[in-house]
Amino acid sequence: MRRQVNRWTILVVLCVSLLIVALDATVLHVAVPALTEDLRPGAQDLLWIVDAYPLVAASLLILFGTLGDRIGHRRVLLMGYGLFGAASALAAFAPDPQILIGARALLGCGGAMIMPATLSILREVFPDRRERATAIGIWSAVAAVGAAVGPVLGGFLVEHFWWGSVFLVNIPLMAVMLPVGRILLPESRGGDDGPWDVPGALAAAVGLFGCVLGVKRLGGGAGPLDVTVCVPLLAGAALLVWFVRRQRRRTHPLLDMRMFANPAFSTAVACIVVAMLALVGLELIAVQYLQLVLGLSPFQTGLRLLPLTFAAMGAGLAGSRLLRRFGPRRTVAAGFVLTALAVLSLTAMGQRDRPGLLTTAFVLLGFGLETTLFGAYESMLNEAPARRAGSAAAIGETSYQLGAGFGIALLGSVMNAAYAPSAAGLGSADRAAADRSLGEAYTVADRLGGGPGAALKHAARHSFVSGLHLTLVVSAVLLAGGACAALRLPRVMDCGPCDDASGKQGSGSATKSSGAGPSGAGVSDARASGSDELPRPARREAAATARSGRTGD
């Protein structure tokens, strides 16, 4: 019984770790105006203050995920705690924009240490797939809570203290997490497959940084031929191609590319990318719609989005039961279909507020999206060998980040192409400003005043809503494609005899060194011999043979 309690206690520690990282990804958004007034950053500095964290985190996920496979995920996680706390103190008291940018980059580095390590340790602590599915559902629900609570917490802190308090709140949390994690968390590492590929790790990090940077610039309105887009994209893509070729040639690769030969693994990764590709850019456009078209305040906008978050939490908590009953294929495909229907229902929105429709659509959207992501993450992690848990977790998180970046670029480009307000009597400068965004069109309209200003506002709102409808349709098409891709996932949730046996023995909190009982020894031997990489039917047959006592034949 003690081991079972410890197993779920470890999950609490991992979820608190993830919550802190998820909070920091969004808590800064509401502090930007106060920060701008105090530090007076330029336009480029402000862009880097906001983007440094996700850029660096996305770039280093593979590096630290694979490092954890070599030196231990617990060790990497504890280093991430320390770095995250120190960087938070530096960011809170940053005297100028450049130091704040550096602190945000260090926060991204700490986040990249923490995120894949939590999922890797979870994979080790819950060897039974049914329990692991429940744990991943709770883990993903906590991530949804963190993303939603971030702006609310940030708004409260900025209102009562100063902008640096949004970072300062991390320090006591990390001061507690360091000793708690050191005492409670088990060590978890993959197989010792020769020396760590330092050139490959650096190539992956720089290549991902270039690709994510180029995509972010593209989503920010720069043209595809702009030097700030094409140079980082081409350089990043070239480095990633070299990285993949290098890994295929190496005897002990940093990232085992054979994992992608497994259809279920590669399909799960693709589903994560498609889900984020279709929805992250749409979320940003929806916020603009709520504030600029419907005229809601930021607080009211946050309240309107809460049903989406609560539905996502519910899907995460119910995901394990859905996965056991319907299997990965139907669960992920149904999540895509439900999300696509919710997106299409939003095309009924116009320039008038329809709160009932919005709430219903957001509930379906949150439940469908979280069901999809939960099923894809669980399938991806299950299909990866246990000794490659860090690599698999890093691939999943990197796919999430890349999908989000490409989604902003793609759907943002669709929106920009469709948005073209037509109002008579505007000068060339005013027309160019009004064509850039709805916010700038409002600024021009307020300056014009009277009839011309009112006409421009009406035309801009109408054009924005039309562009939003087109973007929704494109997003629904992407989601339908994801539903078709999900048909390659396994039909049933395979909880084989090996997983069942280990789960019944209560080995969830035991590391490979414990080896208590025949079940623990069997798992250790299987991992040592590389049987994680056997096809599923072969694993089932081997497990059945061992169970029937014919292993000595």
pLDDT for 210-261, tens place per residue? 887 887 777 666 667 778 788 888 898 899 899 888 888 887 777 778 888 8
| Residue pLDDT, tens place only, 358-390 | 899 989 988 998 889 888 888 887 887 767 766
Average of per-residue pLDDT across 267-280: 84
Same domain, 80 and 140: yes
Same domain, 248 and 265: no
Enter the tokens of residue 315. 């899907």
Domain boundary among 452, 475, 494: 494
Q: What is the CATH number of the domain that holds 165?
A: 1.20.1250.20
What is the C-alpha to C-alpha distance for residues 68 and 74, in angstroms, rounded to an integer?
8
Determine the pLDDT at residue 189.
Answer: 65
Confirm whether 452 is domain-assigned. Answer: yes
- Percent of the chain exceeding pLDDT 90 equals 8
Same domain, 35 and 105: yes
Enter the tokens of residue 136. 């991943």
| Residue pLDDT, tens place only, 448-463 | 877 778 888 888 888 8
Same domain, 300 and 224: no
Full domain range(s) for residue 234: 197-253
Confirm whether 524 is domain-assigned. Answer: no
Output 393 or 265, whichever has higher pLDDT. Answer: 265
What is the C-alpha to C-alpha distance for residues 399 and 88, in angstroms, rounded to an integer?
26
What is the C-alpha to C-alpha distance for residues 140 and 123, in angstroms, rounded to an integer?
14
Answer for the pair 426, 440: CB distance below 8 angstroms, yes or no. no
Q: What mean pLDDT is reported for the chain? A: 77
Q: Is the model's pLDDT at 296 over the cut of 70?
A: yes
| Residue pLDDT, tens place only, 43-69 | 667 777 877 887 788 888 888 888 887
Phi then psi for residue 49, to 5 deg, are -60, -40
What is the C-alpha to C-alpha distance for residues 316 and 369, in angstroms, rounded to an integer?
10
Q: Is the model's pLDDT at 531 over the cut of 50?
A: no
Average of per-residue pLDDT across 136-165: 76
Answer for the pair 44, 158: CB distance below 8 angstroms, yes or no. no
CB half-sphere exposure, 471, CA atoms < 13 A: 31
Residue with tokens 């698999």: 392
Number of domains within the chain: 3
Q: Is the model's pLDDT at 524 over the cut of 50?
A: no
Same domain, 204 and 175: no
**What is the signed CA dihedral for 353, 355, 357, 358, rounded to 10 degrees?**
90
Same domain, 359 and 457: yes
Phi then psi for residue 433, to 5 deg, are -65, -45
Average of per-residue pLDDT across 67-77: 84
Domain boundary among 184, 214, 236: 184
Average of per-residue pLDDT across 496-504: 42
For the ranges 405-409, 474-478, 540-544, the lowest mean pLDDT is seen at: 540-544
Question: Assign residue 295 a region: left if phi > 0, alpha if psi is -120 to 50, beta otherwise?
Answer: left
Domain boundary among 446, 465, 494: 494
Determine the pLDDT at residue 484.
Answer: 92
Output 159 or 113, whichever has higher pLDDT. Answer: 113
Please name which of 494, 545, 538, 492 lies closest in space to residue 522, comparing C-alpha atoms: 545
Same domain, 270 and 355: yes
Angle between helices 536-547 and 497-504 (to 10 degrees): 50
Same domain, 308 and 422: yes
Q: Of 377-381, 505-509, 519-523, which one has max mean pLDDT?
A: 377-381
Same domain, 265 and 241: no
Answer for the pair 277, 407: CB distance below 8 angstroms, yes or no. yes
What is the C-alpha to C-alpha distance for residues 431 and 466, in angstroms, rounded to an integer?
19
Confirm whether 332 is domain-assigned. Answer: yes
Same domain, 136 and 273: no
Confirm whether 98 is domain-assigned. Answer: yes
| Longest CA span, the chain | 92
Confirm whether 544 is domain-assigned. Answer: no
Q: Is the model's pLDDT at 333 over the cut of 90?
A: yes
Answer for the pair 318, 137: CB distance below 8 angstroms, yes or no. yes
**What is the signed CA dihedral for 187, 190, 196, 202, rounded to 10 degrees?**
-80
Same domain, 115 and 20: yes
Confirm whether 517 is domain-assigned. Answer: no
Entry field: residues in the chain:
553
Residue with tokens 């997003």: 475
| Residue pLDDT, tens place only, 191-212 | 556 677 788 888 888 888 888 7
Confirm whether 513 is domain-assigned. Answer: no
Same domain, 168 and 76: yes
